[in-house]
């Protein structure tokens, strides 16, 4: 992690390790799954890591 935010990515999951001030995502990249999702409710952020 290099202390840079993913531009345009907002994360409101305060229990995620990558969530920083202002709901910014500090992960190097994100992975949203599964590939066969049909709606946003079907998706999960696989990058999530608990604090």
- Whether 50 shows a pLDDT value over 70: the answer reads yes
Average pLDDT on 23-41 reads 95
How many other CB atoms are there within 10 angstroms of residue 19's CB atom?
20
Q: Domain spans of the chain? A: 1-51
- Whether 1 shows a pLDDT value over 60: the answer reads no
Average pLDDT on 6-30 reads 93
Average pLDDT on 4-29 reads 92
Average pLDDT on 29-45 reads 96
Is the CB of residue 51 less than 8 Å from the CB of residue 27?
A: no
CA-based nearest residue to 8, from 30, 33, 41? 30
Q: Average pLDDT over the chain, rounded to whole?
A: 92
């Amino acid at each position: 992690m290099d202390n840079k935010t993913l531009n345009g990515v907002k994360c409101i999951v305060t229990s995620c390790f990558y969530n920083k001030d202002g709901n910014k995502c500090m992960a190097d990249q994100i992975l949203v799954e599964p590939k066969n999702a049909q709606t946003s409710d079907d998706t999960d952020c696989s990058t999530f890591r608990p604090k």
